[in-house]
Amino acid sequence: MVADNLRRDHQVCRSHIERNTESLIEDLQSAVAADADGSIAAIGVTLEQAQADLKLLGELVVKPKPEDVNELETMHYRYYAVSPPWAGEKATTDCRLRLLFLDRWNLWPRLREYCTLRGYKRSKSAVNVGRLLA
């Protein structure tokens, strides 16, 4: 994203984050329930805890509050010991959980930032909006 490359603060689209998170949670819930690869048990996390983490994430994303960042940090570090897959390998369930919680933890401040989401394609548009708001 251009704003990221320019190191500019900007809000991420909450609607997209909610939908994407909901979709990822649905995919991961079935993977967690089966724990076919045994990766969750291998790191000492119970299946119930993993399911509770996913449920909580779904609830937090709907109405993000600044203090919820601590919950995301806790969830991320619960899966921190997981090793990422080697090139060409498929990510294990615990690794997918770790990456999901890390991503949402990193995005959290930008979910609460209320600056302009849409950039302007023309300088004149930015000036016009500025005049309108003044």
> pLDDT (tens digit, 9 = 90+) per residue, 22-35?
999 999 999 999 88
Tell me the H-state helices in the chain. Answer: 2-5, 14-34, 39-42, 47-62, 69-78, 93-111, 123-133
Nearest in space to 44 (alpha carbons), one of 35, 31, 55: 35
What tokens appear for 94 in the block? Answer: 């615990």
* Confidence (pLDDT) at 117: 45
Distance of CA 55 to the CA centre of its chain: 14
The mean pLDDT value for 90-97 works out to 92
d(CA 11, CA 21): 16
What DSSP state is assigned to residue 68? G
Give the tens place of pLDDT for each residue, 51-92.
Answer: 999 999 999 998 888 889 999 999 999 999 888 888 999 899
pLDDT band at 3 (very low <50, low <70, confident <90, very high): low
**pLDDT average, residue stretch 32-42:** 90
Closest CA to 100 of 130, 127, 78, 115: 78
For residue 76, what pLDDT is reported?
93
